[in-house]
Amino acid sequence: MRQSRRKFLGGVAAGGALSAFVSCGDADPGPWNIVWIIADDLSADLSCYGRSDVSTPNIDRLAAEGARFTNAYVTCPVCSPSRSALITGMYQTSIGAHAHRSHRGDGYALPEPVRLITDYFREAGYYTVNDHESGLGGRNKTDFNFQYAGAFDGSDWRDRDPGQPFYAQVNIFEPHRGRPPDTWSFTDGIENPTDPEAVSVPRYYPTDEISRKDWAGYLDAVRLLDEKVGRVLDRIDEDGLANRTIVAFFGDHGRPMPRDKQFLYDGGIHVPLIIRWPGQLQPGSVRDELVNMIDLSATSLAWAGIEVPDHIEGRIFLGDDKAPDREYVFAARDRCDETVDRIRAVRDKRYKYIRNYYPDRPYMQLNRYKEISYPIWRQMKRLEMNGQITAEDYPFLSPTRPKEELYDTIEDPDELTNLAGSEAHQQVLTRMASVLDAWIQHTGDQGENPEDPAIAAAWEERMARTYADAYRVLEEREPPWK
């Protein structure tokens, strides 16, 4: 069974000495240091990805010195399941980590033989770091949906033994939203804030003053993120490590906007991925192979010369042991706080197939975090209530949803025209649905087993209590929206 599972997943073990990857001229250049710079809630909204309404010079510099990937996708559009997948190299649905912020206090442990990739680095002699005490702007974020002791060795790579290689994560908060009711904006006091009239808002949101102002705040937070990325790059240079350090920059999932975060449209799962691998990746290159972000876990182990365990579901996508390019990437969304849902998706380079397991429920079913924190969410409902927009204009407002959605992402990058009912696309629909079925079966998707309803009920009570004051503040500040 394992052999057929590995054949389906395309996993390849990484063998051989690390020196096989290196062409720096030294007989024994030593192991690579590896740094992951992880941004919260970030889509590819960067100037190096073509956005003209934001300036990201430090991230652009990294892209100019490395490779920019245009088809990188996370396995979940919300932080804790996505990060659980990243740190294990496993789909969150395979390891019981698929419900957002689950298993925080119930003693749930990873199923055997799953471990954190930091364990393998440590056993190979690496110092493992969650950088949050060095002044680089990182924070002590893990956000795993399981219990695990000793995930990292320290909080600053300078604390390692002399000459010891290191694996480090720098987890940057931006552009995640602040916590209401203390703040309603992304950033406070930023110099030269983005002009709301200069921003480009996706077609699936209204383009009124509230939308533009909120979008401008998001881009301000992206600019602050860029400044912190610059600190990390400067620190690597100051420590004389640039030629021996692989840097990977990416988002843990897509942007913090209503139809993006928590949903399987590209705004929720498509993320920037930039990798600087000195001497191995052509500076300024652009690569379009499909990457599921659990592939970065397997690839990072391979960079360190560590054999990738057979159970890991990520593929090596760079280096001498590179696996064949993916034909498809997969993503899943399950319960988020009090909002019970189950959505699955598969994507190739052109088509996206989405399956909704609760088609009787609206996209915008109750989620207090989004209602409170996302001004565009409230504005869309307000405009609909006042008869200014309809679900025909903005399908995200629909009271129900189709069981299946199919999008041609080349012709329709905003994923607004559902082709599931198109006679001309039935062959594509059947193919994509079959591929998703095979993935669910081969990976043992644990979302097939309904969660205990008491868990969602407990979250319902918790979120109602948490946001009670915030709702009162909103009622004082804003016109009615429901």
Q: What is the CATH number of the domain that holds 115?
A: 3.40.720.10
pLDDT, position 225? 96
pLDDT, position 187? 76
Residue 24 has pLDDT above 60, yes or no: no
Grade residue 9 by pLDDT with cuts at 50, 70 and 90: very low
pLDDT, position 8? 39
**Do 101 and 196 sit in the same domain of this protein?**
yes
Dist CA 364 CA 275 (whole Å): 36
**Do 74 and 169 sit in the same domain of this protein?**
yes
- Share of residues in the chain with pLDDT > 90 (%): 88
Of 270, 289, 323, the one marking the end of a domain is: 323
Residue 348 has pLDDT above 50, yes or no: yes
Distance from the Cα of residue 155 to its chain's centroid = 22
Dist CA 31 CA 127 (whole Å): 12
Number of CB atoms found within 10 A of residue 161's CB: 8
Q: Which two tokens stand for residue 146?
A: 């399981």
Residue 464 has pLDDT above 80, yes or no: yes
Residue 18 lies in a domain: no
- Share of residues in the chain with pLDDT > 70 (%): 93
For the CA atoms of 226, 227, 228, 231, what is the dihedral angle to 10 degrees?
A: 120
Residue 20 has pLDDT above 50, yes or no: no
Closest-CA residue to 224 (of 250, 252, 194): 194
- What is the number of domains present in the chain? 2
**Do 310 and 402 sit in the same domain of this protein?**
no
Grade residue 12 by pLDDT with cuts at 50, 70 and 90: very low
**Do 354 and 316 sit in the same domain of this protein?**
no
Residue 311 lies in a domain: yes
pTM for the full predicted model = 0.93
Residue 40 lies in a domain: yes
**Do 282 and 356 sit in the same domain of this protein?**
no
**Do 371 and 441 sit in the same domain of this protein?**
yes
Mean pLDDT of 411-429: 98
Residue 23 lies in a domain: no
pLDDT, position 29? 67
**Do 170 and 235 sit in the same domain of this protein?**
yes
Segments forming the whole domain that contains residue 110:
32-323
Mean pLDDT of 226-233: 97
Residue 325 has pLDDT above 70, yes or no: yes
Residue 333 lies in a domain: no
Mean pLDDT of 311-322: 97
Grade residue 30 by pLDDT with cuts at 50, 70 and 90: confident
End-to-end CA distance of the chain: 52
